[in-house]
Amino acid sequence: MRYRDAKWQQAMKLTIDYTYMLAESIGSEHGLKLAEIEALAPKLKEIKEGFELRLRQGELEFVNLPYAVDEAQDILRFAASLREEFEQFVLVGIGGSSLGPQAICQALCHPYHNLLGKAARGGAMQMFFCDNIDPDEIAGLLEVVDPRQAVFNIVTKSGSTAETMGNFLVFREWLIEELGEEEHRRHIVVTTDPERGDLRRIAEEEGYRRFCIPPGVGGRFSVLSPVGLLPAACCGVDVLELLAGAAFMANLCHRAQVLENPAMLTSALQFLANTQKGKNISVLMPYSAKLGLLSAWFVQLWAESLGKRLDLDGRVVNVGPTPLAALGAKDQHSQLQLFIEGPYDKLIAFIRIERFFRDVPFPAALTEFSSLGYLGGKTLAELIQAEALSTSFVLAQKERPNYTIILPELNAFTLGELFFLLEMQTAYTGELYGINPYDQPGVEAGKQATYGLMGREGYAEQGAKIRAELARKRYLA
Ligand code: PA5
């Protein structure tokens, strides 16, 4: 990797403080004994070996994404040409085909990116994410996007998801009306499976430019593929540094010792807290507004991967801790009351950034007021740090298990580390439950019922069932 030297990379290593997961800190009713974590070591070793074997056999392709540097260079070149051609980038996709790129842009762009002029954005494009089918939102988007200046990136692995394909139809028609049949083609870029799906065929027939999602990479594990890298490059993110961070974390995840391997450690904490201590809710609470959408991405990754009815032997298990997103410091004035005094059913994972790039000092004014005097001369970064540390401490005092992932800074490298860690943690936790973390039969069932109701060919049976039910409930005449 050409990115920074090994010393800098070491300095950017994220660490995990799990003191307040341990019985010696929070008591044995809710805390884990080190011996309990270590007892899981043989199982985790077996999982790691099985995982590495599948990798050698060409499976689990998401693990190879951090090393796809040549593809990333192609994406960078293509993004540079898009940035010359257009001002606005609209990503049309849903779930795993949208949340990762959203998380990247929020984490690494200026908080008011779209409001800055092009020069202040460093030539980066304005970014819009269209991941719903709310007619008000779509109609509104068409009022703020300029067809001559906009490129639409249609992202769907299956190439057939109703929401994405429906929005594609709307945007395509609008572009044709505004720009003409021929010119509209320049304004659509497709990211989809290289072999399957209607969108791939349409892209070929229409001549849309396209990127491939590797066949073995599922939506929620695709953030480091062109799904995330193309929008990231268009909004000015250093995608090579993002991949370098992920590769650095992949190395840490090769370590044999549970306590030294971040993925093994956090999956063990999550699994044991759930199965031994009844923590059915897994909260992710970053103390950084820029990581709010990372939590949304994680919630989807965790929920769709781990919420499963059947284990690998086909037994009904109905497993999966419910993920919950919270944001520090603002949720201290909302959900925290529940975390501290509600049911003992939560494990809270904090993310804390040690050094913010910018800081804002509190002026030493109005010092005669006790609510202000203590702030003067300190900074916003000091306050948010103090709040993160105090919240973790107070939870521990109340015997509420929590751990903190500490980022030295928030940059493309540490974000890459974080993405890869959370993906590996999810994969290993799925293995600990003995389920398949890579499928989503529940979501598929929902998709099929919608196809049936909307009259898609091949889904008549589901359509008839749901119509009968809706008629019974008098939603349909
Ligand atoms: O993680 C997943 O597999 C899902 O969330 C998908 O990303 C989501 O359903 C969208 O699917 P597709 O990319 O096929 O449009």
- Render pLDDT for 295-343 as a digit per residue (tens, 0 to 9): 999 999 999 999 999 999 999 999 999 999 999 999 999 999 999 999 9
Reported as a single tens digit per residue, the pLDDT across 100-156 is: 999 999 999 999 999 999 999 999 999 999 999 999 999 999 999 999 999 999 999
- 174: tokens are 């609008």
Please give the share of the chain, as a percent, with pLDDT higher than 70.
Answer: 99
Q: Which parts of 8-107 are beta strand (E)?
A: 15-17, 88-92
CA gap 411, 151 in Å, rounded: 26
- 212: tokens are 């491939």
Is 270 within 8 Å of 347 (Cβ atoms)? Answer: yes
Reported as a single tens digit per residue, the pLDDT across 455-476 is: 999 999 888 988 888 888 887 6
> Which pLDDT band holds residue 360 (cuts at 50, 70, 90)?
very high
> Which pLDDT band holds residue 1 (cuts at 50, 70, 90)?
very low
Q: Taking 50 as the threshold, does the pLDDT of residue 249 lie above it?
A: yes
Is 101 within 8 Å of 232 (Cβ atoms)? Answer: yes
CA gap 165, 92 in Å, rounded: 9
Q: Is 304 a catalytic site residue?
A: yes
> What is the structure's pLDDT at 3?
67
Q: Which numbered atom of ligand 1 lies nearest the CA of 447?
A: 9
Q: 365 in helix, strand or coil?
A: coil
> Which pLDDT band holds residue 444 (cuts at 50, 70, 90)?
confident
Which one of the listed residues 163, 304, 417, 431 is annotated catalytic? Answer: 304
Q: Residue 373 Cα, ligand 1 centroid: separation in angstroms?
A: 51
Rounded mean pLDDT, 177-204: 97
CA gap 101, 409 in Å, rounded: 20
CA-based torsion, 342, 345, 347, 350: positive or negative? negative
Q: Is 447 a catalytic site residue?
A: yes
Rounded mean pLDDT, 164-174: 98
> Which pLDDT band holds residue 445 (cuts at 50, 70, 90)?
confident
Choice from 61, 157, 298, 438 to test ligand 1 binding pocket (greatest atom count within 8 A of CB): 157
Reported as a single tens digit per residue, the pLDDT across 54-96 is: 999 999 999 999 999 999 999 999 999 999 999 999 999 999 9
Please give the share of the chain, as a percent, with pLDDT higher than 90.
Answer: 92
- 227: tokens are 């799904």
